[in-house]
C-alpha cells in the first residue's frame, strides 16, 4: 500500500526566506531517504535539503529561483506503508546495536565507569570543544555515519579562533591596514583627511563577521544532525562526560569514542594585577573597550604584534617589551628585520632583551618596573596587554577519571592517529602540543574522526606554516635558516629582494623578501620564509612544494604569472641555482 504525503521544508536554522538555486530531483523519480532534493543559498552558506523518507516524487511544488522558508511545501511524494504486523519486526531491528558498544568497550579496555552513572545523552562520538579542530572532527565523524555530540562551553561554537582570536583579529587588522595605507598615500600624490574612528561601528563590523561564520557553523551542525550541548565538560569515567551548564544544571553524556579538543588559554603572569580592568589579554584587546593613550604590550610574539598594530593605527602610543633579543623569536632575523624597522618608526618604544618585573595599579595608571639593557627603570601606562603565550587546558578536564595521561604542562600525549593512551579517546589541537594553530587542529580533527570510523589515516605533515598578520606580514614553513645551522644541515639559499619585483614596486612596497632553502646535496626544498604584503597567502605554494618533495628546478621551472608577488618564490629558486635573469646571479651552474 502507498500514501500520498506533502514534503515540507525542514527547519534549516535560518529566519525568513532563502532562495532555491538548484532542484536535484524530478517528478516520477524514486528516491531513497536522505537523497538530496534541493540546494538552497542563504547569506551564510549553501545547503542541500534531503528527502525525509523513501518514495516516489509525484509533483514538485517549487522551482529554481523560488524563495522558501521552514514549513513550506516543496513536493508531494508517494510513500509505501506497511501493516502493523509487518512493521513490528522492523522496530525490533536496532536491538543488536548493544553488542557493538560492548565490543568497543572491551577492545579499548578503558577505566571502569562507576555503576551509578546514568546518561542523559548517548552517542557514538563525543567531541569536547567546538573550535576549528573540534567542529571539523564532529562534522567529519557525522559525514562518516556516526551519531555525534559536540560540547561547547560558550554560547557560540567556533572556539577561540572564530570568536576571540583568528577571525576578529583579522577583521581589525584589515581596518588597520587600510588606515595605515591611506596615511602613506601622500608619497603617491594622494592625501586623505585623517579618518574619524567610530568604535561602535568598528565593533559592529567585527561582530558581524563573527556572527556570520558562527551562524553558518550552527547551520552546518544542524544539517549533519550533530547535537550541540552547551556547558563545561569534565570526564566522569572513560565513557562518560558530565556537563555543567551556565545555570548550574548538569547532564551526562555516554560515548563510545571521545575527541578532546578543549584548546588553550592565555598565560597569566603572577606579578601582574589581572583583576584590574586595565590589564587585558588577547580576548580583552579584541573587545575594543576604548583607545588608550599609552599602551604597554608584554610579549613581542605574533599576538602582541598584531594587537599592537591595531591599537597603533587607532591612535594609541605603543610600547613593546620582549625578553628575547628579537621580536617573533621563531622566525629568522632577516625576515623580521623589515617589520622591526617599520614599527620602530611607528611605536613609542620597543624594549628587546628586557622584561617587566612588577606592575602597581594606581588611580592615575599602571606603574611598571622593568629590567633589561634598553628599558627604563619605571614607566606609567593606561593599559597593559599581556601576550606571553598560551597554556593547554589538559589539567582542567578531570582526565584522570578516564585514565588519560596528561603531562606536567597540561599537554595530552598522542600518536600519529591522534590516540591517547586510552585507545577509544583521542585528542587534537592546542591541547596536544605546539604549534598551537587552528589549521593544524583542523587536520588533526579529520584524522581522529577517520580513525574512529575505521579508516587508515594519520597526521604526518612535512611542515605546518606559521604567519604573523602584521604589516608587513611574515610567513615561514619548513626549516628556518637558524634551525638548519643548529642541526648542521648543509643547505643552499636563494633570496630574492622585493626591491627587484615590478609588482612590489607598483604597490609601493619594496621592503619584502622571499627566501628559499634547499638541501645542498639533493636540492630538495627544505624551508621558505617570506616577508611582505600577503606573505600569508604566498606561503601556501611553498608548503605544497615541500609536501610533494619539490626541488630547486621544480620551482624555478614553474611558470608564475607576471607581474605578481607569487613569482618571487620562483625567482628565489633561480637565485639558488644561478639561473636568475632579473638580477645578477650569485653563481652559475
Number of neighbours of residue 349 by Cβ within 10 angstroms: 17
Q: Which three cell numbers stand for residue 225?
A: 544532525
Check pLDDT > 80 for residue 87: no
* Dist CA 385 CA 538 (whole Å): 30
Residue 45's pLDDT is 55
Lay out the sheet containing 36-41: strands in order across: 46-50, 36-41, 18-23, 67-68
Residues comprising the binding site?
Answer: 170, 233, 299-306, 322, 389, 430, 436-439
**222 contact partners, CB below 8 Å, separation of at least 6:** 11, 12, 13
Model pLDDT for residues 450-486, shown as the tens digit of each residue: 999 999 999 999 999 999 999 999 999 999 999 999 9
Q: What is the mean pLDDT of residues 537-553?
A: 98
Please confirm, yes or no, whether 562 is among the known catalytic residues: yes
Check pLDDT > 70 for residue 113: no
Q: How confident is residue 91, by pLDDT bands cut at 50, 70 and 90?
A: very low
DSSP letter at 34 equals T
Contact by Cβ (8 Å): 426, 451:
yes
Q: Whose CA is closest to 307, among 387, 231, 416?
A: 387
Residues comprising the binding site for NAD(+)?
Answer: 299-306, 322, 389
Q: What is the 3-state secondary structure (H, E, C) of 500-539?
A: HCHHHHHCCCCCCEEEEEEECCCCEEEEEEEECCCHHHHH
Model pLDDT for residues 325-366, shown as the tens digit of each residue: 999 999 999 999 999 999 999 999 999 999 999 999 999 999
Q: Which three cell numbers stand for residue 418?
A: 591522534
Q: Domains in the chain and their CATH numbers? A: 2-80 (2.40.50.100), 121-265+392-453 (3.50.50.60), 279-388 (3.50.50.60), 466-577 (3.30.390.30)
Residue 100's pLDDT is 30
| Cα 252 from chain centroid (whole Å) | 28
Residue 86's pLDDT is 39
Q: Which three cell numbers stand for residue 240?
A: 562518560
Q: How confident is residue 301, by pLDDT bands cut at 50, 70 and 90?
A: very high
Residue 61: strand, helix, or coil: coil
Check pLDDT > 70 for residue 43: no
Residue 46's pLDDT is 62
Check pLDDT > 60 for residue 565: yes
* Dist CA 503 CA 363 (whole Å): 51
Q: What is the mean pLDDT of residues 366-394?
A: 96
Residues comprising the binding site for FAD?
Answer: 170, 233, 430, 436-439
Residue 94's pLDDT is 35
Q: How confident is residue 139, by pLDDT bands cut at 50, 70 and 90?
A: very high
Distances (CA, A) of 431 to 97, 233, 264: 33, 15, 6
Residue 197's pLDDT is 95
DSSP string computed for 163-193: HHSHHHHHHHHHHHHHHHHHHHGGGGT---P
| Cα 188 from chain centroid (whole Å) | 37
State the catalytic residue, choosing from 121, 188, 257, 562. 562
pTM of the model: 0.81
Q: Whose CA is closest to 254, among 438, 122, 368?
A: 122
**430 contact partners, CB below 8 Å, separation of at least 6:** 263, 264, 390, 392, 393, 436, 441
Amino acid at each position: 500500500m502507498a500514501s500520498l504525503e506533502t514534503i515540507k521544508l525542514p527547519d534549516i536554522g535560518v529566519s525568513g526566506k532563502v532562495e532555491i538555486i538548484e532542484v536535484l530531483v524530478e517528478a516520477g523519480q524514486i528516491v531513497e531517504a536522505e537523497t538530496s532534493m534541493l540546494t538552497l543559498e542563504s547569506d551564510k552558506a549553501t545547503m542541500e535539503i534531503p528527502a525525509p523518507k523513501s518514495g516516489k516524487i509525484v509533483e514538485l511544488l517549487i522551482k529554481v529561483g523560488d524563495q522558501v522558508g521552514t514549513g513550506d511545501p516543496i513536493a508531494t511524494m508517494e510513500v509505501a506503508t506497511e501493516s502493523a504486523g509487518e512493521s513490528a519486526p522492523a522496530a525490533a531491528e536496532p536491538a543488536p546495536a548493544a553488542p557493538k558498544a560492548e565490543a568497543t568497550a572491551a577492545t579499548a579496555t578503558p577505566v571502569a565507569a562507576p555503576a551509578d552513572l546514568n546518561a542523559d545523552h548517548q552517542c557514538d562520538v563525543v567531541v569536547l570543544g567546538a573550535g576549528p579542530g573540534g567542529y571539523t572532527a564532529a562534522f567529519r565523524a557525522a559525514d562518516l555515519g556516526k551519531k555525534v555530540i559536540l560540547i561547547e562551553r560558550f554560547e557560540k561554537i567556533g572556539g577561540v579562533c572564530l570568536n576571540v582570536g583568528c577571525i576578529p583579529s583579522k577583521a581589525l587588522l584589515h581596518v588597520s591596514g587600510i588606515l595605515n595605507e591611506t596615511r602613506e598615500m601622500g608619497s603617491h600624490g594622494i592625501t586623505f583627511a585623517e579618518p574619524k574612528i567610530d568604535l561602535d561601528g568598528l565593533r559592529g563590523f567585527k561582530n558581524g563577521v563573527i556572527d556570520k561564520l558562527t551562524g553558518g557553523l550552527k547551520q552546518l551542525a544542524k544539517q549533519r544532525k550533530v547535537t550541540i550541548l552547551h556547558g563545561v565538560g569534565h570526564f566522569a569515567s572513560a565513557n562518560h562526560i558530565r556537563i555543567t551548564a551556565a545555570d548550574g544544571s548538569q547532564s551526562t553524556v555516554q560515548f563510545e569514542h571521545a575527541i578532546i579538543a578543549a584548546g588553550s588559554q592565555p598565560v597569566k603572569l603572577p606579578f601582574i594585577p589581572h583583576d584590574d580592568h586595565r590589564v587585558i589579554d588577547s580576548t580583552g584587546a579584541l573587545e575594543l573597550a576604548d583607545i588608550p593613550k599609552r599602551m604597554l604590550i608584554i610579549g613581542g610574539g605574533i599576538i602582541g604584534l598584531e594587537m599592537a598594530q591595531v591599537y597603533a593605527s587607532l591612535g594609541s602610543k605603543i610600547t613593546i617589551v620582549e625578553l628575547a633579543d628579537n621580536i617573533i623569536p621563531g622566525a629568522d632575523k632577516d625576515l623580521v628585520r623589515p617589520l622591526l624597522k617599520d614599527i620602530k618608526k611607528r611605536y613609542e618604544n620597543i624594549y628587546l632583551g628586557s622584561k617587566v618585573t612588577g606592575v602597581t595599579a594606581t588611580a592615575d595608571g599602571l606603574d611598571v618596573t622593568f629590567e633589561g639593557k634598553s628599558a627604563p627603570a619605571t614607566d606609567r601606562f593606561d593599559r597593559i596587554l599581556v601576550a606571553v603565550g598560551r597554556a593547554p587546558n589538559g589539567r582542567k578536564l578531570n582526565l584522570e577519571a578516564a585514565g588519560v595521561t596528561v603531562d606536567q604542562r597540561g599537554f595530552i600525549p598522542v600518536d600519529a592517529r591522534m590516540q591517547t593512551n586510552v585507545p577509544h579517546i583521542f585528542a587534537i589541537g592546542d591541547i596536544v602540543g605546539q604549534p598551537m594553530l587552528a589549521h593544524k587542529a583542523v587536520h588533526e580533527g579529520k584524522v581522529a574522526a577517520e580513525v574512529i570510523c575505521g579508516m587508515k589515516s594519520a597526521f604526518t605533515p612535512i611542515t605546518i606554516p606559521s604567519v604573523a598578520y602584521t604589516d608587513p606580514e611574515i610567513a615561514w614553513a619548513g626549516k628556518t635558516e637558524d634551525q638548519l645551522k643548529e642541526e648542521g644541515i648543509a643547505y643552499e639559499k636563494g633570496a630574492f629582494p622585493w626591491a627587484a619585483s615590478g609588482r612590489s614596486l607598483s604597490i609601493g612596497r619594496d621592503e619584502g623578501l622571499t627566501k628559499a632553502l634547499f638541501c645542498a646535496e639533493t636540492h630538495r626544498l627544505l624551508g621558505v620564509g617570506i616577508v611582505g604584503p600577503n606573505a600569508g597567502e604566498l606561503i601556501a605554494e611553498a608548503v605544497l612544494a615541500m609536501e610533494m618533495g619539490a626541488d630547486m628546478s621544480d620551482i624555478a621551472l614553474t611558470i608564475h604569472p607576471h607581474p605578481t608577488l607569487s613569482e618571487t618564490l620562483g625567482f628565489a629558486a633561480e637565485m639558488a641555482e644561478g639561473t636568475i635573469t632579473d638580477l645578477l646571479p650569485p653563481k652559475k651552474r
